[in-house]
Structures are given as structure tokens and as C-alpha cells.
């Protein structure tokens, strides 16, 4: 992940006119930012006697008599706890918001911010001094340091060395003429420049969580747009289906009206109800079953069997009596018929008056045999 100084973002701004305006960029680069240390103060206070979970609410009131600003307009981070003391980094929320806007305008998603004096290399018992565009960055320990103009920084350094005689001085500035003669004689001086990509302390971060950009905000917004398009497409599809169904229903109603009018013209009556049609259908089905049962009865089968025998016989059926087990036929001019072999499987045939003349009526009785009746 990139480590960038806030001032370097000016070369990468998307909107040249004003670094504090809204961003035009859509793809953000995640980075850790060095921020100006002169905007940050270090304060040491006593450890609150209240439970740790209540420190966040109590510490601002402990700072009320220390800082010049309203405590509601500042943000603090605890960077060290030692010997009953808390070391705090204090910064105004306005500065944090401005830095966040600058980063956003430069298409950078700042995930953390740290004071830039921490970029100065640290050596134990050494006051290390670096240079950043007319400002001295001073580091006195792992967590302590400050930034100020040379006119203010050099006296502070001299006073610190006087109070801490075991400390040495290391200065890295481009022009040694800026160093007071008193410090120049005892200092280790070089002209090396600070490497802003080195030394970022992961444990020190002055950027509050509420000001952090959502890492997935851009990704989420794109997917939200896609989801809206999908939902809109689905809604349009449903609307088209609904419109199509309505059109089809109207077409069906039109066909129904046309068919009803045609039915009235042909049959000169109104269309029967569905219950009436069902009753008629059931009645016809019942009648067809009864007809089928009658046609398959033994007596009807006998008549079917007798039909080929009476074909072209020149006789005349005078009378026919039917019962469940027999059929009686009275036939005139049956002389040619009685000469034939009258035999039907399952039936007993009896002929009365076989010797009569052709004009006489012959009675033929067909009785269902017992075995056939049982079957």
C-alpha cells in the first residue's frame, strides 16, 4: 500500500481550481498519508480513574483547560500509556475534514493519517531533525516530536538538549547555514532527504473512523447501479407481460362476444349456462351407456345372429315379442327361411307350423339356453 505525504497530493489533483472541492474521480487509490505535524499537538495527562470504557467521554473534559479550542471541535488519539500518564495526539476536526477532502479530490482513499515528524529516522537518545519545505521536523523518541519553522524550532531543540544532556543531535537539512553555530559544532549533519515511503507507524493513526471513506463505497455504488438497472429491467418486463395479458384478455372477450352473437344468429337463442350444458352432457352420456348396455344384451345379440339367416329370404316379419330370455317372431312367407339351417350359438330355436303354406304365418321362438344365460 502506498504511503504519501499530503502535500504531494497537490500534484495529483483532479480539480486544479480548488483542492477542497468535491472529487471528479471514480476510482480511488488506497493510501496512508503523512500530515503536517505543526497542525497536531502532543499532550500528556493523568490516566483517568474511571473505567477504561468511559475514557472516550471523560478525556475531552480533562482537556478543556489545556487546549484553546472547544473540546467538541477536536479529535484525540491515545498513542502511549506509561507510568500513570497518557500521551495524546490532538488535532482539530476541521483540519481532518480538509485533509480528507484534499485526498478525495486527488483520487486517494486515506485509510490512516500520521504526523510527518514520525517519518524522521529514530535513534535512541538522539534528537533527529529533518526538513520539509521550510519546516523542521524534530523527533525526540519513538512517539514524541514536533514540527515548526526554524526560528521557533531551534530554540526548542537547544532547550531540550540542555535538559537532556545524554542526548545527541542529528540534523538532515539541505543548507547547513540554517543551523545555529552553537548546535552546528556538536551535531551530526548530513544533507539526506526524508523518505516518505518509510517509517509509517501502524499503531499511530489520527484519522477517526467516522471520516474514513468506505473501502467498498465505489464498488458498492457501481453494483447498486447495476442492481437498479436489473430491477428496472425486471419491472419493465413485468409491465410488458401485464400489458400483453390485458391485450390478450380483451382479444378473448372480443372473440367471445363475436361467437355469442354468431350462436344467437344461428340458433336464435341465448347461450346456455355452463350448468345447463353439464346437465345435458351427463344426460346424453347416461343415455349412450344405456343404449350400449341394451345393444349388448343376449336377446339383441340373438337378433344380430338371426339377421344373416333372414337376408334374401323373401319373408315378412309380422310381429316380434321380446323378453329377458327369449324372442318370439311371427313371420309370413317363411317357407324359404325354414328350409335353412336355423342355428344360433347359445339359443334354442323352435319353429311352429312348419308345414303350413307360404301365406300362413310361421312362429319362431328363440330361447336363451341355460348355460348361455348363466354366462
DSSP symbols for 236-252? HHHHHHHHHHHHHHHHH
pLDDT for position 8: 85
Q: Who's near 39: CB < 8 A, 6+ residues apart?
A: 91, 92, 95
User: What pLDDT is attached to residue 27?
Assistant: 65
Nearest Cα neighbor of 140 from 157, 162, 152 is 157
- Return the pLDDT at 46: 92
Residues 151-173: what's their mean pLDDT?
93
Task: Compute the Cα dihedral for 30, 32, 36, 42 and give only its sign.
Answer: positive
Alpha-carbon distance 44 to 85, whole Å?
6
Average pLDDT over residues 78-83: 89
**Predicted local distance difference test score (pLDDT) of residue 301:** 74
- Residue range 329-375, pLDDT digits in tens: 888 877 777 777 777 777 788 887 655 544 578 888 888 776 555 44
Task: Give the model's pLDDT for residue 24.
Answer: 47
Q: Which residues pair with 349 in a beta bridge?
A: 366
User: What is residue 166's predicted lDDT score, i.e. its pLDDT?
Assistant: 93
Please check whether residue 139 is in contact with residue 120, taking contact to mean a CB–CB distance below 8 angstroms: yes
Work out the angle at residue 48's Cα, subtended by the Cα atoms of residues 44 and 49, and round it to the nearest 5 degrees. Answer: 150
Rounded Cα distance, 248 and 263, in Å: 22
Average pLDDT over residues 89-118: 89
Q: Report the sign of the C-alpha dihedral through residues 265, 268, 269, 271, in that order.
A: negative
Mean per-residue pLDDT of the chain:
82
Helix (H) or strand (E) holding 183: helix 181-186
Among the listed residues 95, 90, 66, 67, the one whose alpha carbon sits nearest the alpha carbon of residue 79: 90
137-141, 284-288, 343-347: the lowest-pLDDT one: 343-347
Q: Is 145 exposed, middle or buried (0-12, 13-18, 19+ CB in 10 A)?
A: buried
Start-to-end CA distance of the chain, whole Å, equals 100
Q: Provide, rounded to the nearest whole percent, the portion of the chain with pLDDT above 90.
A: 26
Render pLDDT for 194-214 as a digit per residue (tens, 0 to 9).
888 877 777 888 888 777 765
Cα separation values, 228 from 76, 100, 219, 360, Å = 41, 29, 14, 102
Q: Which residues fall within 8 angstroms of residue 348, CB to CB, at 6 or more apart? A: 366, 367, 368, 369
Cell numbers linked to 225: 447501479
Angle value at C-alpha 107, between 102 and 113, nearest 5 degrees: 55
Alpha-carbon distances, residue 370 vs 243, 297, 302, 366 (angstroms): 73, 15, 15, 13
Predicted pLDDT at 371: 58
For the purposes of burial, counting CB atoms within 10 Å of the CB of 361, is it exposed (0-12), middle (13-18) or buried (19 or more)?
middle
Mean pLDDT (whole number) for 4-8: 87
Least confident residue range of 26-30, 47-51, 229-233, 346-350? 26-30
Q: Is residue 16 predicted with pLDDT exceeding 60?
A: no
Q: Which stretches of 268-334 are DSSP H helices?
A: 274-295, 298-310
**Enclosing H/E stretch for 57:** helix 55-62
3-state secondary structure of 162: helix
E strands, the chain, where? 2-5, 29-35, 41-46, 74-82, 85-92, 108-115, 126-132, 135-139, 145-148, 168-172, 188-190, 316-322, 326-332, 347-352, 361-368
**What pLDDT score does 152 carry?**
93
Amino acid at each position: 500500500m502506498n504511503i504519501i505525504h499530503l502535500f504531494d497530493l497537490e500534484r495529483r489533483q483532479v480539480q486544479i481550481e480548488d483542492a477542497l472541492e468535491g472529487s471528479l474521480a471514480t476510482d480511488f487509490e488506497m493510501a496512508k498519508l503523512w500530515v503536517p505535524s505543526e497542525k497536531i499537538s502532543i499532550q500528556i495527562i493523568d490516566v483517568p480513574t474511571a473505567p477504561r470504557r468511559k475514557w472516550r467521554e471523560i478525556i475531552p473534559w480533562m482537556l478543556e483547560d489545556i487546549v484553546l479550542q472547544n473540546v467538541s471541535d477536536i479529535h484525540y488519539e491515545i498513542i502511549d500509556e506509561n507510568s500513570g500518564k497518557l500521551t495524546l495526539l490532538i488535532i482539530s476536526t476541521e483540519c481532518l475534514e480538509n485533509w480528507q477532502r484534499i485526498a478525495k479530490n486527488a483520487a486517494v482513499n486515506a485509510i490512516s493519517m500520521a504526523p510527518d515528524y514520525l517519518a524522521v529516522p529514530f535513534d535512541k537518545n538522539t534528537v533527529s531533525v529533518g526538513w520539509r519545505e521550510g519546516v523542521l521536523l524534530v523527533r525526540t523518541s519513538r512517539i514524541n516530536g514536533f514540527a515548526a519553522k526554524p526560528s521557533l524550532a531551534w530554540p526548542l531543540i537547544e532547550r531540550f538538549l540542555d535538559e537532556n544532556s545524554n542526548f545527541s543531535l542529528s540534523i538532515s537539512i539541505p543548507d547547513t547555514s540554517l543551523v545555529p553555530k552553537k548546535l552546528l559544532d556538536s551535531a551530526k549533519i548530513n544533507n539526506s532527504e526524508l523518505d516518505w515511503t518509510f517509517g509509517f507507524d501502524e499503531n499511530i493513526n489520527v484519522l477517526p473512523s467516522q471520516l474514513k471513506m468506505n473501502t467498498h463505497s465505489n464498488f458498492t455504488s457501481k453494483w447498486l447501479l447495476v442492481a437498479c438497472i436489473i430491477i428496472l429491467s425486471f419491472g419493465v418486463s413485468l409491465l410488458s407481460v401485464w400489458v400483453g395479458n390485458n391485450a390478450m384478455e380483451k382479444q378473448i372477450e372480443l372473440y367471445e362476444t363475436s361467437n355469442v352473437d354468431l350462436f344467437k344468429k344461428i340458433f336464435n337463442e341465448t347461450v346456455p349456462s355452463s350448468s345447463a350444458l353439464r346437465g345435458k352432457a351427463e344426460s346424453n352420456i347416461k343415455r349412450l351407456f344405456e343404449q350400449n348396455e341394451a345393444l349388448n344384451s343376449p336377446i339383441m345379440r340373438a337378433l344380430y345372429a338371426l339377421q344373416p339367416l333372414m337376408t334374401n329370404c323373401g319373408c315378412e316379419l309380422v310381429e316380434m315379442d321380446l323378453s329377458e330370455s327369449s324372442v318370439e317372431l311371427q313371420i309370413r312367407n317363411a317357407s324359404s327361411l325354414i328350409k335353412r339351417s336355423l342355428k344360433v350359438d347359445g339359443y334354442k330355436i323352435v319353429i311352429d307350423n312348419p308345414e303350413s303354406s307360404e301365406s300362413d304365418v310361421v312362429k319362431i321362438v328363440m330361447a336363451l339356453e341355460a348355460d348361455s344365460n348363466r354366462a
